[in-house]
Amino acid sequence: MNRTRLLTTMAIFVAIGTVGASLLWFPTGIAKAYPVQHAVNVMAAVTLGPIPAMIIAFVIGLLRNMLGLGTLLAFPGGMIGAVLAGYLFRLTKKHYMAATGEIIGTGVIGSLISVPYANILMGQSVGAVAFVPGFLVSSCTGAIIGVLILSRIRHTELVPSFKN
């Protein structure tokens, strides 16, 4: 994939994730669930790889924070999930493994990292129990959406990584 196409595809994923956050979200305890972010993470991990997926997650988190649509918790969950989704897909070439990576990376690892992160940067003293359920619900919902979209566009020219 040439650099222009890569950057354009990344920008489209960022736009989808940012606009999707304002349209589809739901409360999950003390956090908010943004399943479009997780769907984008899975799709970007499969189509572009782990590092571009992580950059996309970072930019979406940054824009969501700048627009008042998210919190600082968007960074650890989204970025870890995107990287793990990308690496698991790269190892197995199965898009359901990208979804598994997103769920484990965001729902488990990201939520646990968010505990000290929230304490230090946000001044919130909460336990892991406060984040894990919400992060799991959000990442599971989004990962399923991402896999469903990928399964629908699997045989198109839009996803060259499936052709290999």
The string of pLDDT tens digits covering residues 51-70 is 999 999 999 999 998 998 87
Could you tell me the residue range of the domain that residue 141 belongs to? Answer: 32-156
As a whole number of angstroms, the longest Cα–Cα distance in the chain is 48
163 pLDDT exceeds 50?
A: no
The verdict on residue 18 lying in a domain is no
The verdict on residue 54 lying in a domain is yes
The verdict on residue 78 lying in a domain is yes
In angstroms, rounded to a whole number, what is the distance separating the alpha carbons of residues 34 and 49?
Answer: 21
The verdict on residue 95 lying in a domain is yes
- What pLDDT digit, counting tens, does each position of 69-125 carry? 877 777 888 899 999 999 999 999 999 999 999 999 999 998 888 877 767 766 666
The verdict on residue 56 lying in a domain is yes
CB atoms within 10 A of CB 86: 27
What is the domain count for the chain? 1
The verdict on residue 15 lying in a domain is no
Q: Quick one: 79 exposed, middle or buried, by C-beta within 10 A (0-12, 13-18, 19+)?
A: buried
In angstroms, rounded to a whole number, what is the distance separating the alpha carbons of residues 40 and 147?
Answer: 10
What's the average model confidence in pLDDT over 5-23? Answer: 94
The verdict on residue 49 lying in a domain is yes
Of all residues in the chain, the percent with pLDDT exceeding 90 is: 57
The band of 26, judged by pLDDT with boundaries at 50, 70 and 90, is: confident
pTM: predicted TM-score of the whole model, two decimal places: 0.89
Sign of CA dihedral 23, 143, 73, 75: negative
Which range is least confidently modeled, 13-22, 115-124, 132-141, 144-153? 115-124
What's the average model confidence in pLDDT over 6-32? Answer: 89
The verdict on residue 42 lying in a domain is yes
The band of 126, judged by pLDDT with boundaries at 50, 70 and 90, is: low
